[in-house]
Structure 1
Amino acid sequence: MPQVLVIGDDLTGSNATGARFARAGLRTISVSGVERVPCAMEADVVVLNLGTRHAAAGVARERVRDAALAAPFADLVVKRVDTTLRGNVGAEVDALFEVLEPGTRALVVPAFPDAGRTTVGGLHLVDGVPLAETFAARDPLNPVGSSRVATLLREGTRRSITEVPLDVVQAGAESVAEALSATDAELVVCDATTNAHLSTIADAAARVQDAGGPRWLSVDSGPFAVRLATALGIGPGVRALRPVLAVVGSITATTHDQVLETEQVLGARFVDVTLDALDPTAIAERARELARTGIRIVGIRTVPPAQGAPADPALAARIPGVLAEATAMLLDDGVFGGLYATGGDIAEATTEALGSSGFAIDTEVLPLAVAGRLVGGPHDGLPFATKGGLIGDRTAAVACLEHLITTIAGQQRGIPQ
Structure 2
Amino acid sequence: MPTLGAIADDFTGATDLATMLVARGYRTVVTVGPDGITDSRSGAAVRDADALVVALKSRTAPVGEAVADSLASLRALRDAGCRRFYFKYCSTFDSTPHGNIGPVADALLAELGERRSVVVPSFPATGRTVRDALLSVHGELLEDSPMRHHPLTPMRDSHVGRLLAPQTGHPVRLVGLDTVRAGVAALKAALDEPESADALVVVDAVTDDDLRTVSAAAEDLALVTGAAGLALGLTGPRPDADAARATPASALGAPGVVLSGSASSATRAQVAHGRTRLPHHKLDLVALRADFTGSVDALVAFARACWQDDPQRPPLIYAVDDLRDLQQAAPPGAEPAAELVERTLAACAARLVDAGARRLLVAGGETSGAVVTALGVRTLSIGAPIAPGVAWARAEGRVHDRDHAVDLALKSGNFGDTTIFTEAWSVLV
Give TM-score scaled by structure 2 length. Answer: 0.51
Matches within 5 A, 1:399-414: none
Q: 1:365 to 1:121 in 2, by over 3 A?
A: closer
Q: 1:2 to 1:121 in 2, by over 3 A?
A: same
Match of 2:53 in 1: 47
Q: Does the CA contact (< 8 Å) of 2:8 and 2:14 recur in 1? A: yes
Matches within 5 A, 1:329-340: none
Q: What is the CA-CA distance between 1:196 and the residue it aligns to?
A: 0.7
Matches within 5 A, 1:65-80: 65-72=71-78, 73-80=81-88
Match of 2:163 in 1: 152
Which residue of 129, 132, 148 corresponds with 1:137? 148
How big is each residue's C-alpha offset from its partner over 1:90-142, in whole Å with a ceiling of 9 and x where there is no partner? 12212212211x23521111110111100011111112222122111210011
Matches within 5 A, 1:4-403: 4-38=4-38, 39=42, 40-72=46-78, 73-87=81-95, 88-100=100-112, 102-182=113-193, 183-206=196-219, 209=220, 215-227=221-233, 229-230=234-235, 234-236=236-238, 241=239
Q: Which runs of no fewer than 5 residues in structure 2 stay unpaired?
A: 243-383, 388-428
Give TM-score scaled by structure 1 length. Answer: 0.52
Give distance in 2, aligned partners of 1:78 and 1:203: 14
Amino acid paired to 1:42:
D
Amino acid paired to 2:107:
A
Give distance in 1, aligned partners of 2:88 and 2:3: 16
Q: Which runs of no fewer than 5 residues in structure 1 stay unpaired?
A: 210-214, 245-362, 367-416
Give distance in 2, aligned partners of 1:222 and 1:120: 18
Secondary structure of residue in 2 paired with 1:59: helix
Amino acid paired to 1:184:
A
Amino acid paired to 2:237:
G
Secondary structure of residue in 1 paired with 2:48: coil
Amino acid paired to 2:10:
D
Q: What is the CA-CA distance between 1:197 and the residue it aligns to?
A: 0.5
Q: What is the CA-CA distance between 1:56 and the residue it aligns to?
A: 1.1
Q: What is the CA-CA distance between 1:216 and the residue it aligns to?
A: 3.6
Secondary structure of residue in 2 paired with 1:146: coil
Amino acid paired to 1:55:
A
Q: What is the CA-CA distance between 1:36 and the residue it aligns to?
A: 0.7
Match of 2:324 in 1: none
Number of residue pairs matched? Answer: 233
Q: What is the CA-CA distance between 1:75 and the residue it aligns to?
A: 2.7
Give distance in 2, aligned partners of 1:49 and 1:178: 33
How big is each residue's C-alpha offset from its partner over 1:287-339, in whole Å with a ceiling of 9 and x where there is no partner? xxxxxxxxxxxxxxxxxxxxxxxxxxxxxxxxxxxxxxxxxxxxxxxxxxxxx
Secondary structure of residue in 2 paired with 1:58: helix
Q: What is the CA-CA distance between 1:147 and the residue it aligns to?
A: 1.2
- Could you say which structure has the larger radius of gyration? 1
Q: 1:365 to 1:147 in 2, by over 3 A?
A: closer
Amino acid paired to 1:19:
T
Q: 1:3 to 1:243 in 2, by over 3 A?
A: closer
Kindly, what percent of the aligned residue pairs are identical?
A: 30
Q: What is the CA-CA distance between 1:61 and the residue it aligns to?
A: 0.9
The structure, 1 or 2, with the larger RCO (C-alpha pairs under 8 Å, 6+ apart) is: 2
Q: 1:129 to 1:78 in 2, by over 3 A?
A: same
CA-based RMSD of the aligned residues comes to 2.5
Secondary structure of residue in 2 paired with 1:71: helix
Amino acid paired to 2:104:
E
Amino acid paired to 2:17:
T
Give distance in 1, aligned partners of 2:28 and 2:232: 12
Q: 1:235 to 1:159 in 2, by over 3 A?
A: same
Q: Does the CA contact (< 8 Å) of 1:104 and 1:216 recur in 2? A: no
Give distance in 2, aligned partners of 1:122 and 1:69: 32
